Structure 1
Amino acid sequence: MHRVAVTGMGLKSPAGNTPEDAFATVLAGKGTAVHLPALLEAAVPVTFGCAVTGFDPDAYFPRARQRHLDRPTRLAVAAAADARTDAGLPDLRPEDDEGDPRTGVFVGTGGAHTSYISDLGALPRERLPVASVPMIMPNATAARISIRHGLQGPCLTFSCACASAAVALGEAMTAIRYGRVDAAVAGGVEAMLSPFAVAAFARINALSRRADAPHEASRPFDRDRDGFVMAEAAAFLMLERMDLAVARGARIHGELAGYAAGADAGHIVQPLDDGRVAARTMRAALADAGVRPEEVGHVNAHATATTYNDRAEARAIAACFPAGSPPVTATKGVTGHLLGSGGAVEAIFALLAASRGTVPPTANFTGGPDATSIDVVHTAPRGIAPAPVLSNSFGFGGHSASLVFRPA
């Protein structure tokens, strides 16, 4: 069974468009949510969110190509290209390249092209763009990454709600471990800050209504949390067989060492209150990595700032670490809820924190009864010894996924 190295990272997020910039933002511990013009104009019930800013698609795509790429595909292809560049691999294959059959593409997304589909639904049928079908296919983003780099291994899309990106990373790790591929571009994307999607989430009372102070609205584990803040992002990791990465002299950020997934088999949008399936998933991921609970340096929690999710996860963490909780951070206080992309964005934050021995604070956390059983890092970053990190992702439908990374 092969070990799996992380050799590249690419990110487009509300906190920044490189891993370094984004990690500096989460270390500062201030929320990024603002009122958004499109939501204000549409007069939807919630008008704020955490958007990617400063992203220049011209740096990645010819103008003519951009007409055939919606926002999530642009963000994802750019983040994946950055991950390959960071890994020291070519951004674009030569025209005469025969392709790479031993590298796969693994993409997680919860809503895929929901926003673009809602835009198309408002058009008369005779005005539908010719490229409508290849733009709205759920697999379109994975296919675009594969085509750009000539990657002819498995090209797969995973939709497990807000656990999607974590599942994509875990399944890519599994494929490398067992020799199905030698490498993978793996991660996730979500870009649903459209009036339709925001109104739909507001309709089920999932979103914070703290309109007077959007940057304080995402409050993971806090007593005053009132719902999540919608956000968008794309994040990809370049994963390689460890021995091959070492042989080619690659810089290694760390190791993806463990993965497990599960399902509550309960309510469609509400987790099991006791968090027992989530706890079982965490324990399974640690066992998969060969890591004992007491060896974990910190936990990057899913922690959406919703009442039921945060309570269940806190109970799950406490159950997974009966001898005492390691430091816990919830970076959604800064970034908002990144939906299907969150597992990949938070994997990057988790690995950087573990490697540098610095855990980001949980923005907007002031305490609360649901967090008394765990050690929530807040107010300022906390120094820790480099150690394995556990990163959690959960989603509607009862999905749970946990990843374990070892720092380089």
Structure 2
Amino acid sequence: MARFEAALARSGAACGFLDPAHAEAIGEVCKRARFDTAALARAARQAGTLAIPFVKALTDQVSATSPQAARYVHFGATSQDVADTASALCLGEASARIAELARALGDALAELARRHGATAMLARTLLQPAAPIPFGWKAAMWLSPLARALPRFQAAAADACVLQFGGASGTLSAFGQRGGAVADALARELGLQRRVTWHSARDALARFGAEAAILVGLSAKIGRDIALLMQAEVGELAEPAAGGRGASSSMPHKRNPALSMLALEAARRAPGLAATLLGELEGEHERGLGQWQSQWLTLRELTGATASALGAMLEAVRELQVNEAAMRANIERSRGLVFSEALALRLSRPVADRLCAQALREGRHLLEVLRADKEAMRQLGSADAAALFEPRTNYGSAAEMTERVLSEWAKARGNAP
């Protein structure tokens, strides 16, 4: 907020609205200003916005140095200008950190996809075992939506982190016909893009909230899958456990999915926070009542949740422990039933249904039942029958899809600032 007021004074001076010496005095005070935050909070409660007691406290400090300069503190601006612009400056820094975490997470997922392109595991559909897939393909499916979401988040952040400057009614009336020149100078001073007044047009923040919540949800998807695959009876993945992470306070044997939990808890909060921003699009007339006043609180919580979720998954994926033997064992545990689709496509659905039912009834491997069935084996050679039960023969276009996702990520990554 002090940065805004210092930049406003310099911009006003550059356009001839105040003496440059007064602007310099205001700027110097802004550099070293100190505030009683508790007193500001109490006064903000009475004023309805932090900007009003902040501007008064700053004016008092400038007045102690230069009563003449104090007259020009906050000249031509309004409370929402300083509050929204300060939020935009903070949001810019937070967004850059979120994008950095998302890029690092994407890079870690890409590496996982490359490393495990031939590592066989069970797919799970509706939480039940399905045909085998490469674990690298699964990692690529975690990466694919992130490759779409990162550029969209960055675009939404760029659209939201802009200058707010409209003055009392939004028209910069204090500056007459030269308001645009002051706004342009102020935007340059703060390193922000200039938009026309958006006091009651909150679409950019709503869009930012939606994109941030999507990043949280994508992180939680990864966390949910890791947590499920980390269950002791599955045992295919494990989060890093260094430093006692995931330990239980009462059961020494436990290893909890603590990082996944962080992403999942953030995903419980993010949709509601994004919905709050979406619900604040209906601001009344030229400046709304009760919408923008709370948005910086919502944005603080949402950016924190987003960074927490992405950071947790970055740490989990970078040091993810992959148990290839357990993946293979879980495939074998199905006694060949997870290859039933390949069997049905090669023979027919009725024949596959009959053979699967027999294998379940007799507790035998599906391949064993198939080889003992003369009718089925008349259509298959022994080698063909065995090939149906090889995981790689069920991968379909997984390798092509994985390469496609890696290419999409490289493009999204390359376009990142």
TM range (shorter): under 0.3
- Asked which structure has the greater RCO (Cα within 8 Å, sep 6+), the reply is 1
Larger Rg: 2
Q: Which structure features the higher share of helix residues? A: 2
Structure 2 length normalisation: TM-score?
Answer: 0.22
TM-score, normalisation: structure 1: 0.22
User: Which of the pair is proportionally richer in strand?
Assistant: 1
